Amino acid sequence: MGPVSRIPALREASFDGALAWFSDLYTGALLFHPDDDPAEVYRVRDWHPLFSEVEAEEVRSILGKLFSLLGDRVYEAAYPIYMKACGNELDG
Task: List the domain range (segments joined by +) for residue 44.
Answer: 15-85
Domain total of the chain: 1
pLDDT, tens digit (0-9, with 9 covering 90-100), for 49-67? 999 999 999 999 999 999 9
Tell me how far CA of residue 18 lies from CA of 3, 44, 46, 64, 72, in angstroms: 25, 25, 29, 12, 12
Domain contains 36: yes
Q: Is 1 within the bounds of a domain?
A: no
Q: What is the pLDDT of residues 73-84, one digit of tens each?
A: 999 999 999 999
Tell me whether residue 32 is in a domain.
yes
Residues 6+ positions from 49 with CB-CB distance below 8 Å: 39, 40, 41, 42, 43, 56
pTM for the complete prediction? 0.89
CB 34 within 8 A of CB 78: yes
Given a contact cutoff of 8 angstroms between Cβ atoms, the answer to whether 34 and 90 are in contact is: no
| Domain contains 69 | yes
